[in-house]
Amino acid sequence: MIKLIIKLYKIISILVFLLLLLGFSSKADSDYEPNTLIVKLKASKSLIRSQSNIHSYHQKMGVKELILVPVGKNGVKSASFGNQTYVLKFKSNRDMQVMAENYKAQSWVVSAEPNYYVYAHGFNDPGYESQDYLRTGRIKSVFDIPERNRVIVAVADTGIDYNHEDIEANIFLNTQEQNNNQDDDGNGYVDDVKGYNFYGFSLNSAHNDPIDEFGHGTHLAGIIGAKSNNGLGIAGINTKAQLLNVCFLNRFGRGNQVDAAAAITYAVDMGAKIINCSWGYSKKTSVLEDAINYAQDNNVVVVASTGNDSQQTFNYPAAFDSVIAVSAITNSNKRASYASFGGHVDFAAPGTDVYSLKPGNSYRELTGTSQSAAVVTGIIARVLSYNPDLTPAQIKALLIDSADDVMTSGRDIYTGYGVINTTSLKDNLGIVDGAQTSDRVPVQTAGSVVPELKEVLNFPNPCRSQGTTFGFITNKAGEVVVRIFDMRGQLKKTLETSVVDGDRYNTVFWDCYDDANTIIDNGTYFYIIEYKTSEKTLTARGRLSVLR
Partner 1 sequence: MKRVISCILFLLVICNFIQASYKFDVLSVEGYAKGYAITADKCGLESVLKNPAGVSLLESVTFLTSYSSFFDDFYQGVHLAAGLPINDTMSLAITIPARVVSGIPETIDNGGRAEQVGSFQDLDAALMFTTGLKILPDLYCGLNTNYYYHKLYTQKGTGWGFDFGFLYDINYDVTLGASIQNMGNTKIKWSTGHQDTFSQIVNVGLKYKWGQYLQFLADTSISQGKTELNLGAEKTLEEILSIYFGVQNIGKEARIGAGASLLLENLDINYAYSQHMYLGSVHKLSLGMRI
Asked if 548 is part of the footprint of partner 1 (rule: CB under 8 A), the reply reads: yes
Asked if 494 is part of the footprint of partner 1 (rule: CB under 8 A), the reply reads: no
Of the two residues 163 and 391, which places its CB atom closer to partner 1 in the complex? 163
Contact by Cβ (8 Å): 349, 139: yes
Site mask for partner 1 (CB under 8 A), range 322-361, x = bound: ------------------------------------xxxx
Contact by Cβ (8 Å): 276, 373: yes
Among 411, 469, 477, 495, binds partner 1 (CB under 8 A): 469
Nearest distance from C-beta of residue 161 to partner 1, angstroms: 8
Nearest distance from C-beta of residue 457 to partner 1, angstroms: 4
The H or E element spanning position 386 is helix 369-386
Task: Tell me the residue length of the chain.
Answer: 548
**Secondary structure of 200-251 in the HEC alphabet?**
CHHHCCCECCCCCCCCHHHHHHHHHHCCCCCCCCCCCCCCCCEEEEEECCCC
Nearest distance from C-beta of residue 245 to partner 1, angstroms: 17
Nearest distance from C-beta of residue 257 to partner 1, angstroms: 31
Among 239, 362, 377, 422, binds partner 1 (CB under 8 A): 362
In order of 247, 316, 495, 521, the CA distances from 251 in angstroms are 10, 21, 28, 33
Contact by Cβ (8 Å): 348, 416: yes
Site mask for partner 1 (CB under 8 A), range 77-116, x = bound: ----------------------------------------
Asked if 507 is part of the footprint of partner 1 (rule: CB under 8 A), the reply reads: yes
Give the dihedral of Cα atoms 125, 129, 132, 133; nearest 10 deg. Answer: 10
Single out the segment in contact with partner 1 by CB under 8 A; choices: 46-54, 105-113, 249-257, 524-532.
524-532
Give residue 99's Cα distance to chain centre. Answer: 37
Of the two residues 57 and 505, which places its CB atom closer to partner 1 in the complex? 505
Of the two residues 31 and 521, which places its CB atom closer to partner 1 in the complex? 521
Q: Residue count at the site for partner 1 (CB under 8 A)?
A: 36
Asked if 458 is part of the footprint of partner 1 (rule: CB under 8 A), the reply reads: yes
Among 69, 258, 528, 540, binds partner 1 (CB under 8 A): 528
Amino acid, res. 247: C
Nearest distance from C-beta of residue 355 to partner 1, angstroms: 17
Contact by Cβ (8 Å): 469, 513: no
Nearest distance from C-beta of residue 521 to partner 1, angstroms: 4
In order of 110, 221, 280, 309, 474, the CA distances from 315 in angstroms are 64, 22, 5, 10, 41
Of the two residues 120 and 487, which places its CB atom closer to partner 1 in the complex? 487
Asked if 497 is part of the footprint of partner 1 (rule: CB under 8 A), the reply reads: no
**Exposed/middle/buried for 325, CB within 10 Å: 0-12, 13-18, 19+?**
buried
Of the two residues 450 and 487, which places its CB atom closer to partner 1 in the complex? 487
Among 30, 93, 445, 524, binds partner 1 (CB under 8 A): 524
Single out the segment in contact with partner 1 by CB under 8 A; choices: 268-276, 346-354, 407-415, 521-529.
521-529
What is d(CA 129, CA 122) in angstroms, rounded to the nearest whole number? 11
Of the two residues 273 and 358, which places its CB atom closer to partner 1 in the complex? 358
Asked if 461 is part of the footprint of partner 1 (rule: CB under 8 A), the reply reads: yes
What is d(CA 347, CA 338) in angstroms, rounded to the nearest whole number? 15
Find all residues with CB under 8 Å of 72, minimum gap 6, and list them. none
Single out the segment in contact with partner 1 by CB under 8 A; choices: 47-55, 168-176, 430-438, 457-465.
457-465
Nearest distance from C-beta of residue 469 to partner 1, angstroms: 7
Nearest distance from C-beta of residue 528 to partner 1, angstroms: 5
CA-based torsion, 185, 190, 191, 192: positive or negative: negative
Of the two residues 315 and 468, which places its CB atom closer to partner 1 in the complex? 468
Contact by Cβ (8 Å): 368, 315: no
Single out the segment in contact with partner 1 by CB under 8 A; choices: 58-66, 90-98, 247-255, 458-466.
458-466
Instruction: For the segment 417-456, give every residue that binds partner 1 (CB under 8 A).
Output: 455
462: preceding bond cis by omega (within 30 degrees): yes
Query: Phi first, then psi: what are they for 464, rounded to 5°?
Result: -115, -145
Among 411, 462, 497, 538, binds partner 1 (CB under 8 A): 462
What is d(CA 67, CA 63) in angstroms, rounded to the nearest whole number? 11
Asked if 526 is part of the footprint of partner 1 (rule: CB under 8 A), the reply reads: yes
Nearest distance from C-beta of residue 164 to partner 1, angstroms: 10
CA within 13 Å, CB half, 468? 26
Site mask for partner 1 (CB under 8 A), range 473-492, x = bound: ----------x-x-xxxxx-
What is d(CA 212, CA 157) in angstroms, rounded to the nearest whole number? 9
Find all residues with CB under 8 Å of 206, minimum gap 6, and list them. 189, 196, 197, 198, 199, 200, 259, 262
Amino acid, res. 109: V
Name the residues that contact partner 1, by CB under 8 A.
358-362, 455, 457-462, 469, 471, 483, 485, 487-491, 505, 507, 521-524, 526, 528, 541-545, 547-548
